[in-house]
Structures are given as C-alpha cells and as structure tokens.
Amino acid sequence: MTSWNEHNLGVIEQFRAKGGRDGARPLLLLTTTGAKSGRPHTTPLMYLADGDRFAVIASKGGAANHPDWYWNLVANPSVRVEVGGESFETQARVAEPEERDRLFALQAERYPFFAGYQKKVKRRIPVVVLQRRTRQSP
C-alpha cells in the first residue's frame, strides 16, 4: 500500500469517527465504482457547496494526469457521498466549460493552491458536479 493510500485511509477513518467533520476545510468522502475492477473506492476530497450540489476538483495535487476517482465516475457516474454526517447517492457529471470556470474560480479564491495546481499542469483540471439523487415514488 502506498503512503498516499495510507494517508487517505487515515483521513477517512478520522472523518467517519468525527461524524463527517474535519477541521477548517470542507471535506466529503466520494465512493466510486472502479472503472476496471468494479470495486468500490472511497476518496476524501475538498468540496464547494453550490446550491444543493457539491463540486469537487480533479486536481490530484497538481499532477500531470487526472486522478483515478475521476476516471471511475466518468465510467460509472452513480456515486455515493458522505458529508456532514449524511450519506447519500449522487449523480456525477463533468462541469461544462463555463460552469467549470465559475466553480473553479470560486474554490481557487478560497483555496489559492488550486490555482497554483492549474498553473503547473498542461491539462485543464476538471470540476465534477455531484447532484443528490431524489427518491422516486414506488
């Protein structure tokens, strides 16, 4: 297991132990279905609340390539979110260009390191919108 995976496992454990609260930065847990494995994968991510939706940035800390969780939700957009002590199903989608720019700018204003990540990579860092699924009547 890599040190990054170990770090994430520690963050996930602490997040759940504290009922979804983790310090000053807004954090959620995103559980995707592996694009290749079909297994669930949970990743802690900072988020931006946008009305009744959540936006997450696929920055991978400014790495040259997109994170695995991004490819997982592109392949399987039905994902689970844990935030603020709640857990629910959401539908994920990659933000359209104008929407992406607005959401990215809002998050980068609050947390300037996101802008730094974008400056250091050639790829356009995607923003993913997570919309809570509504329960349908039987």
Is 65 domain-assigned?
yes
- Residue for token pair 């609050």: 110
pLDDT in tens, 17-46: 676 666 668 899 999 999 999 999 999 999
What are the helix (H) ranges across 18-112? 68-75, 97-110
Is 122 domain-assigned?
yes
Is 138 domain-assigned?
no
Is 118 domain-assigned?
yes
Is 137 domain-assigned?
no
Number of folded domains that form the chain: 1
**What distance in Å separates the CA atoms of residue 24 and residue 98, rounded to the nearest whole number?**
28
Is 11 domain-assigned?
yes
Confidence of residue 7 (pLDDT cuts 50, 70, 90): low
pTM over 0.85: yes
Is 10 domain-assigned?
yes
Range of the domain at 124: 3-132
Strand order in the sheet with 86-94: 40-46, 27-33, 78-83, 86-94, 127-132, 53-57, 48-50
Instruction: Give the CATH number, domain containing residue 18.
Output: 2.30.110.10
pLDDT in tens, 40-61: 999 999 999 999 999 999 999 9
Is 25 domain-assigned?
yes
- Residue for token pair 């990659």: 94
**In terms of Cα–Cα distance, which of 80, 74, 88 is closest to 36?**
74
